[in-house]
């Protein structure tokens, strides 16, 4: 049976249910016509009478209303269900494509991890032993340096410190000697100044006096031996 005004739409179309008249073409109208024909046949055959007819009619109306309501609800959901189904189909196709790409990515990741594992294996076999040997050598050098520092600190540094202390004491003694030498030099300078300023002039005057006295004596002796010679400064002059 083709129902007029029937369309697939999420909007509720009341014309599909009933046209509001007894000879309408809506779903409810058609169902009620069918129910009435059945009731009329049963009534004419005297299978239902009186209140049974009324109860049967009311029951058929309720049944028709339920069916029409379910029809309307299911029909209004149909476009959404179709859209949902289409979206699910699209999602399934997309998931398939994504899964395929992810499979490729997983394969690439597996190859990458295998290459990294191989690289790590090579490093563990060749690179790491060399690095460990180098680290061991560096540790040995550090231990040797530490031992040398400890030896210097325990033996050489005390000797150097003792030498420095002796050198300091020697310098202090040299300073004391220098101070004494400075005192002696000052005394010698004072003595030299005394000899230059006092003693030397006195000696010069004494020598000059002795020279004058000697000259006088020589002149006197010449005058005594030679009357014609009377020396200047002699006692005869």
DSSP assignment of the chain, as one string? -PPTT----SS--GGGT--SSTT--SHHHHHHHHHHHHHHHHHHTTSS-HHHHHHHHHHHHHHHHHHHHHHHHHHHHHHHHHHHHHHHHHHHHHHHHHHHHHHHHHHHHHHHHHHHHHHHHHIIIIIHHHHHHHHHHHHHHHHHHHHHHHHIIIIIHHHHHHHHHHHHHHHHHHHHHHHHHHHHHHHHHHHHHHIIIIIHHHHHHHHHHHHHHHHHHHHHHHHHH-TT---TTSS--
- Pick the more confident residue, 17 or 116: 116
- Cα 75 from Cα 61, distance rounded (Å): 20
pLDDT for 85 beyond 50: yes
- Cα 103 from Cα 145, distance rounded (Å): 58
- Cα 89 from Cα 175, distance rounded (Å): 109
Residue 24 pLDDT grade (very low, low, confident, very high; cuts 50, 70, 90):
confident
Residue 64 pLDDT grade (very low, low, confident, very high; cuts 50, 70, 90):
confident
- Cα 156 from Cα 164, distance rounded (Å): 12
pTM: 0.28
Work out the average pLDDT over 6-32. 67
Residue 100 pLDDT grade (very low, low, confident, very high; cuts 50, 70, 90):
confident
* Structure tokens given for 26: 């809506």
Work out the average pLDDT over 141-169. 87
- Cα 56 from Cα 62, distance rounded (Å): 10
Give residues with Cβ within 8 angstroms of 215, minimum separation 6.
233
pLDDT on residue 15: 65
CB atoms within 10 A of CB 192: 12
Residue 229 pLDDT grade (very low, low, confident, very high; cuts 50, 70, 90):
low
- Cα 138 from Cα 130, distance rounded (Å): 12
């Amino acid at each position: 049976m083709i129902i007029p005004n029937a369309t697939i739409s999420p909007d509720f179309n009341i014309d599909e249910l009933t046209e509001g008249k007894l000879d309408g073409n809506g779903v409810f109208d058609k169902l009620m016509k069918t129910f009435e024909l059945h009731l009329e046949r049963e009534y004419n055959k005297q299978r239902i009478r009186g209140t049974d007819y009324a109860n049967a009619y009311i029951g058929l109306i309720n049944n028709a209303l339920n069916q029409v309501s379910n029809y309307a609800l299911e029909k209004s959901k149909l476009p959404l269900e179709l859209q949902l189904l289409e979206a699910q189909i699209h999602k399934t196709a997309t998931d398939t494509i994504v899964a395929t790409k992810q499979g490729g990515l997983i394969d690439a990741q597996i190859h990458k991890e295998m290459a990294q594992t191989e690289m790590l294996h090579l490093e563990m076999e060749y690179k790491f032993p060399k690095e460990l040997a180098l680290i061991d050598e560096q540790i040995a050098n550090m231990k040797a340096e530490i031992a040398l520092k400890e030896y210097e600190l325990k033996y050489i540094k005390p000797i150097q410190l003792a030498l420095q202390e002796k050198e300091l004491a020697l310098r202090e003694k040299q300073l004391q000697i220098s101070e004494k030498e400075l005192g002696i030099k000052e005394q010698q300078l004072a003595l030299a100044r005394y000899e230059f300023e006092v003693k030397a002039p006195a000696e010069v005057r004494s020598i000059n006096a002795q020279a004058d006295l000697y000259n006088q004596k020589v002149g006197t002796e010449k005058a005594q031996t030679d009357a014609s010679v009377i020396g200047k400064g002699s006692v005869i002059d």
